[in-house]
Amino acid sequence: MRKMVKNPWTWLVLFAAIFALAGSASAQQGFYLGTGVGYGMPQWGGDMNDVDPDSGMGLELVHLGYNFSPNLGVGLQWGSIAGELEGDMYGYDLDEGIYGEGYMCFSGRYTLIDSTLPLMPYFEVGFGTYTALGEVEIGPADADLIVDPASGFRLAIGGLYYVNKIYIAPELSFHTVEFDDVEYETDFGDFDDDDIGSGDFMLLLVKVGYHFSKE
């Protein structure tokens, strides 16, 4: 099961099926505000590659934006993923661990307007700030992890379906970030590490929201 949920191609096939089964859509522009919930799939690398983060819950607490036209717009996304940690750190097996990774991004959006499609596909490219934290039981000590914020990038593809001014939007996004410094707070004191590696993840969401104007 874990191999399936970590395979991006599986999610791309499922995402295409959502488009095929959906109904019709209409063009929108103006301000919008919404939220989203889904599934996060971390793909950590570098020094963090020895730690195996499980796929877990994804939450986009809020997204808001403005479409200048039915095709072009900008938006802000604030969300996170969370799950359990396995693997090893510094030669010790992780007895127990949890993680959270958050983001705040500013993105540009292009929406493809085509009345023959079941959903209105949109594409987003953005950048922003990412950070992470965790709690682990490692060897003889418990530790809290606080990762310093770092700049990262976000690519997303989704589809909009409107019921009046309310929209539903399945979305698949890829986030890439290279983390540097992390601070460990343990029972035996605090210490730092650097160049810890990438905190990449994929995020499959179902978004809902409200469009304040329509054309």
- Mean pLDDT (the chain) is 83
**117 alpha carbon, distance to own chain's centre:** 26
Please give the share of the chain, as a percent, with pLDDT higher than 70: 82
Average pLDDT of 66-94? Answer: 87
Q: Domains in the chain, ordered, with CATH?
A: 2-19+28-211 (2.40.160.20)
CA distance 25 to 121: 10
Give residue-wise pLDDT tens across range 138-189: 777 788 888 899 999 999 999 998 888 899 999 999 999 999 888 877 777 7
Strand, coil or helix: what is 139? coil
Instruction: Kindly report the number of other CB atoms within 10 A of residue 64's CB atom.
Output: 15
- pTM of structure: 0.83
φ, ψ for residue 46, nearest 5 deg: 70, -145
Contact call for residues 149 and 130 (beta carbons, < 8 A): yes
The pLDDT of residue 182? 82
Contact call for residues 129 and 149 (beta carbons, < 8 A): yes
CA distance 45 to 177: 10
Nearest C-alpha neighbor of 130 from the set 182, 184, 176 = 176
Give residue-wise pLDDT tens across range 35-66: 999 999 998 877 665 777 889 999 999 999 99
